[in-house]
Chain A
């Protein structure tokens, strides 16, 4: 193409081939572009002819001939559209071939025509000057980039983050106001008159004034009439149930409605939704979730948790008192969620079918992961305080997608998250060395934190009337008035716990040590009202139900005490086997997971 006087005939031939191919390619390009524009502009089903026919059909819907005409026209329009598409595709192939020919011809010419090196220029560039200019241009480009970015910032920044935050809060608050109104309509059972209840904001509570549930997650009424979480609604050690028995005997069968052997071991507690109880069990080779009939104790389904992508082939090494399935499950009545020591997380429908699963990565935790799950609306909240990468995260209950994740600068913790309502907002409260902290459940933002805890934190917090109580062995018991600037109300180091979590009312705090001493404090002042030594090791957390504290020791003996400033033992009942697990309460029954069996206790 370049050298017309080339003596080599092959070169000449190739030049001609290249020229013709290039011309053909340009022609094809133009045609393809025109065709493409036509395709872009075409709206085959929205032509004047078609619209007229459709209008006519509307006024005369029984005209089959007209209908047939429309169909024919529709088919034609579609055929034309797809033919156009085919033309673009075929043109593309031809274009490709012609360009290939141009390239092949020109490359061959290059090979055939030996090119001499360029003659070096007489004057070499000034090396140092060139480098200087180079430096200046790099610096200049950097300056231009920064200035352009800043201009973009000025024109595009509109506090989107804050706006979204405000919008999220205002939406939550509007749902909250419905709750507050309806809560007033319906006083709650038992001790509720004197308690600040942890209804999460956004949950509507009344069956009188609202539909059964907001779309996608249960109402507060549903939550408190079931037992969906470790330590009850909000995971603060309170159950809103009535007519719970105070005496039974596992050996004689008194008040024992049924007992069922659980196939695999686990220290998780039962959770209940309507007529189903959910538990999990695991050993080093197998992990299972169970759905049990509340009336008969029959295991309705057992689902093996397996083949989760990313799940380790070997179970992590854990302490025998933690096991492979210590975290308690949670349910929102739509699905049930379980997590295991190897990081496997699964959501099952109420019949045990897998909805989604994922592995969160094996938690680096020397005793084994034990933090239980909790729901906020349809968010599954997971406290994942492992070594070096502690975090709290919220996953969509429906899909398992991570909605938010907040990293935490804390040490490994075995405590579980609690969900409380301060009256103004909902908060998730977590405890781990060195602080207790509140998080916005909507977006995971840390709202406050208070340095008051240290060591290997096992007990979860207690909460009542704006005060969070945290405790840990070799650390201290602290009562913290929460808010924008949390403040310490009182602290004590005489009695501490390393496993059982405390429970509080607006007047009293009940603390149980792992060696079986129960202590009652004034919640606001920290004055000790009484202490009682049961004398037996206790891992289960005390539960407050109908003004009574239910405290189960490791032998399986339940001590029932009046939740008052004076000590009064109401009952003492033996299960007949040992237990580490906090009991669950639902439908006037008590559910206790023993070392081997699950018991239903009721009249």
Chain B
């Protein structure tokens, strides 16, 4: 992620290479037009399609227990929300709109965006991640190419599974500070849906899709920030997909059926640690969590200059500052634009300083959040829920219903 952010910072150095021709014939250059907003009726239709899709997928997963049905629905969603709606509005990116609306009162969030953010979470709260199963176009696209999924070891799963939390934290930080919508900027698939991907974007998407042949849904599992929220809400779902319609007979046929490593195995009856040891460990981690929050928060706050480096205002202030401190520099387009804006250098410095200050506070919060996540993940791996059969992990299961076909118990 930091590499991607660094690449973005380097974009500031990019220059326009191909100037517009100068016409002597009196030809007037056409004005740059912004795309007109989607009409209200079509926006309402999007919401309706989302609601209908979520309902149908829920019915297919919970009532029909049909993998084929989920597959065809995901295909439909990919065509409608992906290729027809060009990947926007998407629930994943809506995190940023919601965050910006919370921090900037002048920003009015469109109702459609709000619904796209809330509806999948609500469904997840009651029925598990049915959105991921058959409504998310990103998931559908990756699901299509998951031909030879391999199981990742628990170590890799543990390490890579931390990235979405970091991505979520960064996305919220950048949206809250009004700096950027990084989820949209680094969206790998939207360029495919729109047939206009830049080379970098295409390369990123190709990497994900090719690796997705062997590691099923890599974006969903190891990047998607919205997946973090769905993971949290899904844990509370009462009516979640089950592998078996009745009692698990522990035939172990489903053990390797999940390409996402989202099946929890039965808990062995005996825990090698004594109750006393377990209590001691839990107490230790409970004490450690606040320490982790503060330590990571402090680290995050120290990192605020690096994090704020993405902001165009900070980049501009640095560029203006460079000649002041004596460094030689060619005047960039940004500096020229700044000069023509009539603003003073002090103003640019103070604007950048405000951003820096926001990042300082944001760095504390981001770091604190990451510390809390680490603490809770470690604590979560100490607490044990006793299971007698094979069950989908409510947090990580995408409710794709693949495992259902592997269960010999049919009623």
A residues contacting B by CB (< 8 A) are 36, 43-45, 74, 78, 81, 89, 92-93, 96, 103, 106-107, 110, 117-118, 120-121, 124-125, 127-128, 130-131, 133-135, 137-142, 145-146, 149-150, 152-153, 156-158, 160-161, 163-165, 167-169, 171-172, 202, 214-216, 309-310, 358-361, 377-379, 396, 398, 402-405, 442-444
Contact = CB atoms under 8 A, between A and B. Distances in A.
B254 interface: yes
- The CB with the most chain B CB atoms within 10 A, among A36, A139, A309, is that of A139
B296 A377 contact: no
Contact of A142 (B306, B308, B374): B374
B201 to A, nearest CB: 12
Given A135-B381, A167-B324, A379 B347 contact: yes
Query: Considering residues A81, A152, A396, which has the most beta carbons from chain B within 10 angstroms of its beta carbon?
Result: A152
Q: Which of A133, A135, A161, A361 has the most CB of B within 10 A?
A: A161
B155 interface: yes
A361 B105 contact: yes
A118 B318 contact: no
Interface string B359-399: 01000000000110010011001100000000000000000
Interface string B272-300: 11000000000000000000100110011
Given A128-B271, A377-B344, A43 B299 contact: no
Contact of B302 (A45, A157, A377, A444): A157
Contact of A172 (B162, B296, B318, B346): B346
Contacts of A378: 342-344, 347
Nearest to B206: A29
A456 to B, nearest CB: 24
Contact of A153 (B299, B349, B350): B299
Contact of B357 (A74, A161, A168, A310): A161
B349 A137 contact: no
A138 B377 contact: yes
A444 B354 contact: yes
Contact of B158 (A120, A128, A137, A150): A137
Contact of B381 (A138, A165, A172, A377): A138
Given A92-B195, A164-B321, A117 B306 contact: no
A137 B325 CA distance: 45
Contact of B378 (A89, A96, A135): A135
Interface in B138-167: 144-145, 147, 154-155, 157-159, 162, 166
B378 A118 contact: no
B220 interface: no
Given A103-B144, A141-B162, A216 B353 contact: no
B377 A310 contact: no
A26 to B, nearest CB: 12
B395 to A, nearest CB: 14
A133 B153 CA distance: 11
Contacts of A124: 265
B207 interface: no
Contacts of A36: 199
A398 to B, nearest CB: 7
Given A153-B306, A377-B347, 8 more contacts: A103-B144, A120-B256, A137-B155, A160-B356, A161-B353, A167-B324, A442-B347, A442-B349
B303 interface: yes
B224 to A, nearest CB: 18
Interface string B13-24: 000011101000
28 contacts: A45-B19, A78-B21, A92-B195, A103-B145, A106-B147, A107-B144, A120-B255, A125-B265, A127-B265, A127-B267, A128-B268, A130-B154, A133-B154, A133-B155, A137-B159, A138-B158, A142-B162, A142-B370, A149-B302, A156-B306, A161-B356, A164-B321, A164-B352, A167-B321, A168-B350, A310-B105, A378-B344, A396-B347
Given A118-B256, A120-B253, A404-B354, A171 B345 contact: yes
A134 B154 contact: yes
Contacts of A81: 18
A49 to B, nearest CB: 17
B247 interface: no
Interface of B: 2, 17-19, 21, 105-106, 108, 144-145, 147, 154-155, 157-159, 162, 166, 192, 195, 199, 252-257, 265, 267-268, 271-273, 292, 295-296, 299-300, 302-303, 305-306, 308-309, 314, 317-318, 321, 324-325, 341-347, 349-354, 356-357, 360, 370-371, 374, 377-378, 381-382, 406
A549 B349 CA distance: 41
Contact of B353 (A44, A120, A165, A398): A165
Contacts of A141: 158-159, 162, 374
- Summarize A's interface: helix, strand, loop or mixed: helix
B346 A216 contact: no
B254 A117 contact: yes
Counting from the closest, the 9 A-B pairs by CB-CB distance are A120-B252, A443-B350, A168-B349, A404-B354, A142-B374, A361-B105, A168-B346, A171-B346, A137-B158
Contact of A117 (B253, B308, B349, B377): B253
A216 B159 contact: no
B220 to A, nearest CB: 18
A161 B305 contact: yes
A88 B354 CA distance: 43
B162 A44 contact: no
A359 B300 CA distance: 33
A74 B21 contact: yes
A138 B108 contact: no
B272 A128 contact: yes
Given A93-B195, A164-B353, A117 B268 contact: no
A117 B407 CA distance: 9
A161 B308 CA distance: 11
Nearest to B141: A103
B256 A117 contact: yes
Contacts of B314: 160
Contacts of B406: 117
B27 to A, nearest CB: 14
Contacts of A92: 195
Contacts of A443: 349-350, 353-354
B303 to A, nearest CB: 5
Contacts of B356: 160-161, 164
Given A117-B257, A171-B344, A146 B321 contact: no
A127 B268 contact: yes
Contacts of A168: 345-346, 349-350, 353
A402 B178 CA distance: 11
A251 B356 CA distance: 59
A78 B21 CA distance: 9
Question: Among the interface residues A163, A169, A377, which one has the most CB atoms of the partner chain B within 10 A?
Answer: A163
Contact of B106 (A135, A358, A403): A358
B302 A150 contact: yes
A310 B299 contact: no
A131 B381 contact: yes
Most B CB atoms within 10 A — which of A358, A378, A403? A403
A112 to B, nearest CB: 13
Nearest to B268: A127
A402 to B, nearest CB: 8
Contacts of A402: 106
Contacts of A171: 344-346, 349
B307 to A, nearest CB: 10
B344 A216 contact: yes
Nearest to A37: B199
A396 B192 CA distance: 39
Given A141-B159, A146-B296, A398 B350 contact: no
A171 B382 CA distance: 57
Contacts of B265: 124-125, 127
Counting chain A CB atoms within 10 Å of each CB, the highest count among B154, B296, B370 belongs to B154
A117 B155 CA distance: 25
A403 B267 CA distance: 57
A133 B157 CA distance: 11
B155 to A, nearest CB: 5
